[in-house]
Structure 1
Amino acid sequence: MHRVLKDLKIMLLANLWIVPVLAALIGAVFYFVAPPPPMSARMATGAEGGGYRIFAEKLKQELAKQGFELTLLPSAGSRDNLERLLAKDSRVEIALVQSGLERQLDAADHARLHSLGAVYQEPLWLFYRSGIDLERIADLLPLRLALGSAGSGTLAATEAILGANAITPEQYPPSWQATGGGKTASALMAGELDAAFFVGPAENALVQQLAAHPDLSLATFRRAAAYEARLPFFKRVEVNEGLLNLAQNSPPKDIITLSPVATLVVNRDFHPGLVPLFLEASREVMKHGTLLDKAGTFPSAEPRTFALSSDAEHYYKSGLPLLQRYLPFRIASLADRYIILLIPLLVVLIPLLKAVGPLYRWRIRARIYRWYKYLRDIDRQLDAGTLPDRLDAEVERLEQLEDELAKVEVPLSYSNELYELHVHLRYVIERLRTLQKRRATASDSVG
């Protein structure tokens, strides 16, 4: 056992050169590897109590299970969210944005944003006071109408619907208001408004409250196909009788409405490594579906608004990265990055490790063979006849070398070569002593 440990020590000492080499390679990996994804992000949502906020709260809870902190920042709505994402000193990296708003951006701003996909439908609801004859959009012109608050997706959707009917903002009557939210709903129920547009999921508390009100009716978009043809970000949605409120049987008959989708949009500050984490959390939020969305429908790569992130594209095709299926996100994301860099590292290490054996043999034998150089020099001097004047000094030097050689340590597998060197050194010493004796004898004879 002692001998094995001794051999191991020799081997380690002989290969110490590999330590700085490995340190340099590992240092290069850490230097060049992409930094790990942050464990926090900021998200623009919408007004308190709105559909965006409710979804974002659920998303935050799912992300917290992975130790991720999502900060939610309230906003005026979709338009405001887009402006925040594009701001020079943006305080958000991700936001919910209503499909269709991307058409309002120029090419440069459009290219700065990417979509992670749609997460749910957010239908457009047109509630109006019962008793009003409302057959077509043009019938809204004489009414007291709420279009949706400034900066909201509701206002954007309303303007698109009105524009398709050749009603431009310049033609809006004074009785139309750019308001929305809870105050607008209260005004509608109190009779202070005749009609109002709202955008949000069917489960939204405001939509449910309006649907249950006995003095309100829900408009149907009979020409939904015509709107879809002109406004492709809208999709026809059928709302069946009683879907919104069974007890109140609201709506009292099947109606048709139009729906954009809520999409997750990110700017260039959003770390791409977070994409599968957010999409998987969104899938968990939407796994049971909604009143209008079947389970497993969202998140979805379609419809495409902004260019789909390449990482999102990979998620929709292949699901979660392999390691993230079995490991916590923080560990898996680090491992993913280092595994990628391990490939070129292994390319360098394999030939390096192959060189360890030959280099090790060379270093061990060098301990032995360096003595042969001196023995060969003596042989050459003997052959040339130039040694006799220094015989005594050479014998003394060789005996000193023999003492030094006795202290040389080599692994057991190389002991035979060490012993052969001892034999050869002793042989040369004996030759020189024989030569000494001859010289002494010759000197006595002369005397």
Structure 2
Amino acid sequence: MTRLHDLKIYLKANFWLVPVLLLIGVLFVLALDPAPPTRLSLATGPEGGGYQAFGRQLKARLAEEGIELELIATAGSPDNLRRLLTADGKVQIALVQSGTEQQLTEEERRRLRGLGALYQEPLWLFQRRDLDIRELNELRGKRIGIGQDGSGTQAVVLSLIAASGIAREPGWLALGGRQASAALGDGSLDAAFFVGPPGNPLIQALALDPALRLADLRRAAAYQAHFPFLKALSLPEGVLDLASNSPDRPLTLLSPMATLVANRSLHPALTPLLLESARRILQQGSLLDPPNSFPRPEPSSFPLTKEADSYYRTGLPYLQRFLPFRIASLVDRYIVLLIPALAILLPLGKLVSPLYEWRMRARTYRWYRHLHEIDARIHDGSIRGHEAEEIARLQEMEKALGRVELPLSFSHELYTLHLHVRYMIERLRGLAREDKTSARMQR
């Protein structure tokens, strides 16, 4: 019973800690970053394109970490950028062909951030076998597929022909992908541009078509000098298909990069996870990209996010190397605030014991003020004639002290106060008797 009594007193005395801890808890929650979402949207590109193929692989990887990736088919890179810039927040990341950002204003560019380059996706110019196009000005007077409206293919082709001083002709049609492939097959087009990795099924099918051949762009290095987002790429003989020796000679192509771009709605904690998932997908390399060469920070059409830059310099955050993403993210969010929380709680914990002790002693010490006042009045003689009044007050004090709650460890102070009150009562009674004796003697 004594222990329960002491515990009750201790809890009541330190009840002030409850609102303090609640306030600290509220501030802790407010300062904590929101948890990463479990759902993410990626703008890819046209159905059946290379971006969709990569998106499906990325979706499978993220599903292993409990993140659901929604793939949104679009018209191409320009459409992807527009979706990133809309205020509805439906798309957080997008696959974008390097160079497409030239269509954006400076203010629009500032609203987007790069996560890095993923792989090379050459600009392929397939032509009829009887043609030998090696310069862009040789496209004049021919029926050319320059890519669908709103596609990254058309964006890069129009940039190249504009820089070459060539005006768009009526025979240059907004056809790309499977439509352009079919038009080449039935003779409706003389040549057509395509953008995609060499492993893309459409590129492979075109490379195996005996009626077609790839164009060798002789001035690729010059175009690279004028367009930093393009790279002059040497294509070895037979690299697309050894059996049919496609291409049948070494070629020089121009290659944009497939890049990953994000807007401000992407949760920062998801960036390392996205890049690590991309690294695992791309680690085997391709016909053109050596193993473990992607993703990489350059070339990037937009400034890298802080998290992407950190990933390329030091790799995954430490906890994500050993723990599942959801657990590592949770621990990481709390550990950031652990030091300031300890900086508050440790001094607070050290304050509890002395403050409790002071409050317990205060329950007895405050009564001594009245005893000191009586003692002072005894010494200066002003107490004479008022002894009975003060004795009555001290007796009331004795009753009040009986209701004072103190733990067992402080009981000696309460009993000492009782003794001092009794001592002062006896002292006043002695003074009262002296007064009565003195009055009788005077009579």
TM-score scaled to structure 2, two decimals?
0.89
Q: Which residue of 2 aligns with 1:10?
A: 9
Runs (5+) with no aligned partner, structure 1: none
What SS does structure 1 have at the residue aligned with 2:266?
A: coil
Q: Which residue of 2 aligns with 1:115?
A: 114
For 2:427 and 2:286, the matched residues in 1 are separated by 102
- Maintained 8 Å contact 1:125/1:198: yes
How far did 1:154 drift? 1.0
Is residue 95 of structure 1 aligned with residue 94 of structure 2?
Answer: yes
Q: Which residue of 1 aligns with 2:60?
A: 61
Is residue 290 of structure 1 aligned with residue 289 of structure 2?
Answer: no
- Maintained 8 Å contact 1:368/1:418: yes
For 2:280 and 2:7, the matched residues in 1 are separated by 55
Residues 269-284 of structure 1 aligned to structure 2 (within 5 Å): 269-284=265-280
How far did 1:339 drift? 3.8
What SS does structure 1 have at the residue aligned with 2:288?
A: coil
For 1:18 and 1:89, the matched residues in 2 are separated by 44
For 2:134 and 2:394, the matched residues in 1 are separated by 118
Q: Which moves more between the two structures, 31-40 or 50-59?
A: 31-40
Q: Find 1:311's aligned residue among 299, 302, 307.
A: 307
How far did 1:210 drift? 1.1
Q: Which residue of 2 aligns with 1:35?
A: 34
Residues 247-258 of structure 1 aligned to structure 2 (within 5 Å): 247-258=243-254
- Maintained 8 Å contact 2:279/2:294: yes
Q: Which residue of 1 aligns with 2:145?
A: 146
Q: Which residue of 2 aligns with 1:260?
A: 256
Q: Which residue of 2 aligns with 1:23?
A: 22
How far did 1:369 drift? 0.4
What SS does structure 1 have at the residue aligned with 2:367?
A: helix
Is residue 401 of structure 1 aligned with residue 401 of structure 2?
Answer: no
What SS does structure 2 have at the residue aligned with 1:119?
A: strand
How far did 1:231 drift? 1.8
Q: 1:19 to 1:138 in 2, by over 3 A?
A: same
Q: Find 2:367's aligned residue among 367, 371, 395.
A: 371
Deviations 1:51-101 (A, max 9, x none): 111111222222222222222221111122122223455642221111112
Q: Which residue of 1 aligns with 2:204?
A: 208
Amino acid at match of 1:70: L
Q: Which residue of 1 aligns with 2:76?
A: 77
Q: Find 1:410's aligned residue among 402, 406, 412.
A: 406
Q: Find 1:194's aligned residue among 181, 187, 190.
A: 190
How far did 1:302 drift? 0.2
Q: Which residue of 1 aligns with 2:296?
A: 300
What SS does structure 2 have at the residue aligned with 1:197?
A: strand
Q: Find 1:384's aligned residue among 380, 400, 404.
A: 380
Q: Which moves more between the two structures, 71-80 or 9-18?
A: 9-18
Q: 1:238 to 1:413 in 2, by over 3 A?
A: farther
Q: Which residue of 1 aligns with 2:229?
A: 233
For 2:269 and 2:228, the matched residues in 1 are separated by 31
Q: Which residue of 2 aligns with 1:244?
A: 240
Q: Which moves more between the two structures, 83-92 or 435-444?
A: 435-444
Deviations 1:204-246 (A, max 9, x none): 1111111122222222234332221122211122333333223
Deviations 1:30-62 (A, max 9, x none): 234443333323222101110111111222222
- Maintained 8 Å contact 2:208/2:241: yes
How far did 1:125 drift? 1.2
Q: Which moves more between the two structures, 87-96 or 309-318?
A: 87-96
How far did 1:371 drift? 1.8
Amino acid at match of 2:380: A
How far did 1:347 drift? 4.0
Q: Which residue of 2 aligns with 1:361?
A: 357
- Maintained 8 Å contact 1:189/1:210: no
Deviations 1:89-132 (A, max 9, x none): 56422211111122232322222222111111111111122232
How far did 1:348 drift? 4.0
What SS does structure 2 have at the residue aligned with 1:272?
A: coil
Q: 1:163 to 1:439 in 2, by over 3 A?
A: same
- Maintained 8 Å contact 1:99/1:233: yes
Is residue 184 of structure 1 aligned with residue 180 of structure 2?
Answer: yes
For 2:223 and 2:96, the matched residues in 1 are separated by 20
For 1:36 and 1:88, the matched residues in 2 are separated by 21
- Maintained 8 Å contact 2:206/2:212: yes
How far did 1:265 drift? 1.4
For 1:227 and 1:101, the matched residues in 2 are separated by 16
How far did 1:294 drift? 2.1
Q: 1:405 to 1:105 in 2, by over 3 A?
A: same
- Maintained 8 Å contact 2:145/2:189: yes
Identity score, percent: 50
How far did 1:266 drift? 1.9
Runs (5+) with no aligned partner, structure 2: none
